[in-house]
Structure 1
């Protein structure tokens, strides 16, 4: 008579609130509850009395600490529902509430096991690994909506092997577009294409002439074949990483899908001895003519003919420098020749009023109702905000913007730079006006010096800017708020006329502390 076999399944314990440990605990807890239900199915026991509660699954000291510092509740008042909710708050979100690079995680960790000879099992394991990664990193909420389902399918396709990926993507683009957001259709498509690829690879192996294996005789006179070299995953004569072009189990020289140009490009891209510049261009090195000038002097004079042979046309460069650039329609709308300049004084009220009246007349000419002319003039002259050129205005009455340096930040001081003569003249005149107005002053001992970047405008003049990239790298990021378009549209929903005005040199109107 056979003896019954008894298995004892212990309830898993929680000894740490780490997210990875809690994910594993939920998995084991689910198995424990299902196994207990099976044991109680044929008997009269109540599962709630047989199974171990969630509260008793916590380590006593850990539970006391959580009640004291995290939840602020008495240990006696805890329920299983409350504890499970706290556990899911941790497991359903990503670790440390910091969103990792989702695409990078799937790119590095989602891989199809090509060593599995069972094609269907290989595909199922691949999709199962995808779901495991989603649960592992707490991405479940990202892929619940229609947009999330589409993004999940995109990640699955992106991580497929190279040859299979191109086949599946081609089918999705032209034959099965519904697979872009239907994971089940995508699974069926990947399974079919994986089978087709396996059939093609087997046919290629049979069609390609294989090298004859050398026979040898042992001491007994029997003929034995040389064993396959150990340490290789595939058959002998197959590259370890597959074809450089399609990813199949053959060399790129034997690839039936690659053209001669494709084979050459694939070999260059995967040749570690080829420089990066050659890989990017795909061109072979060309022979160029070199001019060697004999002489021991460090300075020498070159004629115009010799400069032209070297590709240097001085006269052409002078012409380009003298002729202003043509205005580009894609440039900034306010980047015109009549941009307001910096002067020593502001305009008087009468001059400002005359210019505002001209703007009103232009608005009427563009379609503004003439019957509202007086109201438009009243609104335009209500505040003192019009300037044609900036002068010695009082400072803006705004709180200063405060910047905070990163720990360990050191002052940045750039080296002297050389500028063309016309740029130096522009910078001298521009900065002399700023000094005269009292906006800036010269400080030879400043520890912070950033380079000036004069930018040529479409009208041929220059705009003075500064390179703040090195300084910004030392400053803590300031988190700003993006405008909410629906709210902005709600504010102006009843407006009938709109105007566009230039905020003249706004960077001089911001105090900095």
Structure 2
């Protein structure tokens, strides 16, 4: 069954649509539950986003904007609305208009809290930074300007350093201060110095035009980022080449050293055989023959080992020979001698001379 317009009906009598109807998400209006400057700043920000979404929906569906949009009056907590009507507007709640509420909210959100003037330059220096880790220069500068505007809104400084057209002397002063703070907190330092020098000499107009300042910052930051990446790539490639060259040199050096060692080992002349070993002067320790004890033909291995051990024991237990005798006392019977600078002994003054040596030796029979 078909209706006028070519649309058919299903078994239940519902119209069969050729395409699926659009599905819209539920757009919730922000609520104002606290009458404070930070809360008002957040409320206005969320309210602008909410109104934009409703406007897009109405354009797509053809609905009347005023019939879909939730009013500011309906978004305020009832107790806060009663307070505003009684103490601020001095009227009834029903008499409050949408325009009056919006104007009061914007006025309070755009003023200094408690009329306190902060140290603006120090506040921006402490809380405004440019993220130099962001490789996309356009995104880096955009995030910097967005963070600046958020600080302005959160602290109620829109009247003094906010965005807006310049129409009078107050507007020029506002834009001049805005551009000054934007240039003062740029990063890195080389970009900051570059922009400040250009604004001082060749680009003076950027002192009073934040749009021109934004374009200049993007241009100069892009050039600096380009050269920085070129230098980084050059250093990286240079270090890789140097490492490769060093590795190749080491390999060549190792091969040369190995070849040299091999050639030297090949060219080395064979060692001459050792001549006959001279027998000991005292003869063999076992048979007293003219050979070493290890070559003794008549001694067994046990006898050879015992003879060698006995020779070692005799060598270790050999009495030290007297090398120096000095007279310590030379009076009568109390005469004392110092042997080798260590031993003191008393003896009679009798010295003997051996027939085989010209050295004088002490007669042991004279020692006490």
Which of these residues, 65, 68, 71, is aligned with residue 83 of structure 2?
A: 65
Residues 41 and 205 (structure 1 numbering): CA distance in 2 closer, same or farther, change over 3 Å? closer
Which of these residues, 89, 92, 102, is aligned with residue 107 of structure 2?
A: 89
Spell out, residue by residue over 1:365-423, the C-alpha distance to the aligned partner (whole angstroms, 9 max, x if none): xxxxxxxxxxxxxxxxxxxxxxxxxxxxxxxxxxxxxxxxxxxxxxxxxxxxxxxxxxx
Aligned equivalents of 2:139, 2:76: Cα separation in 1: 38
Answer 1 or 2: higher relative contact order, Cα 8 Å, separation at least 6.
1
Determine whether 1:171 maps to 2:198: yes
Q: Is there any run of 5+ residues in structure 2 with no aligned partner, and where?
A: 1-18, 245-368
Spell out, residue by residue over 1:149-169, the C-alpha distance to the aligned partner (whole angstroms, 9 max, x if none): 112111111101111111111
Q: Is there any run of 5+ residues in structure 1 with no aligned partner, and where?
A: 215-513
Report how far residue 3 of structure 1 moved. Answer: 6.4
> Which entry has the higher C-alpha Rg, 1 or 2?
2
- Superposed, 1:430-469 pairs within 5 Å as none
- Superposed, 1:159-198 pairs within 5 Å as 159-161=185-187, 162-198=189-225
Determine whether 1:46 maps to 2:73: no
Report how far residue 70 of structure 1 moved. Answer: 3.5
Which of these residues, 227, 231, 242, is aligned with residue 204 of structure 1?
A: 231
Which of these residues, 39, 42, 49, is aligned with residue 21 of structure 1?
A: 39
Aligned equivalents of 2:201, 2:61: Cα separation in 1: 57
Report how far residue 213 of structure 1 moved. Answer: 8.7
Aligned equivalents of 2:96, 2:31: Cα separation in 1: 17
Partner of 2:251: none
Residues 40 and 202 (structure 1 numbering): CA distance in 2 closer, same or farther, change over 3 Å? closer
Residue 30 of structure 2 aligns to a residue whose secondary structure is coil
Determine whether 1:102 maps to 2:129: no
Report how far residue 42 of structure 1 moved. Answer: 4.5
Residues 205 and 35 (structure 1 numbering): CA distance in 2 closer, same or farther, change over 3 Å? closer
Which of these residues, 178, 196, 203, is aligned with residue 152 of structure 1?
A: 178
Residues 77 and 36 (structure 1 numbering): CA distance in 2 closer, same or farther, change over 3 Å? same
Q: What RMSD, in angstroms, separates the aligned Cα atoms of the two structures?
A: 2.3
Larger relative helix fraction = 2
TM-score relative to the length of structure 1: 0.39
- Superposed, 1:324-363 pairs within 5 Å as none
- Superposed, 1:39-438 pairs within 5 Å as 39-43=57-61, 45-143=63-161, 145-161=171-187, 162-208=189-235, 210=239
Report how far residue 90 of structure 1 moved. Answer: 0.7
Aligned equivalents of 1:45, 1:204: Cα separation in 2: 58
Report how far residue 61 of structure 1 moved. Answer: 1.8
Residues 207 and 43 (structure 1 numbering): CA distance in 2 closer, same or farther, change over 3 Å? closer
Aligned equivalents of 1:101, 1:196: Cα separation in 2: 34
Report how far residue 81 of structure 1 moved. Answer: 1.1
Stretch moving more, 187-196 or 32-41: 32-41
Aligned equivalents of 2:63, 2:226: Cα separation in 1: 55
- Superposed, 1:495-506 pairs within 5 Å as none
Report how far residue 47 of structure 1 moved. Answer: 1.9
Aligned equivalents of 2:243, 2:103: Cα separation in 1: 65
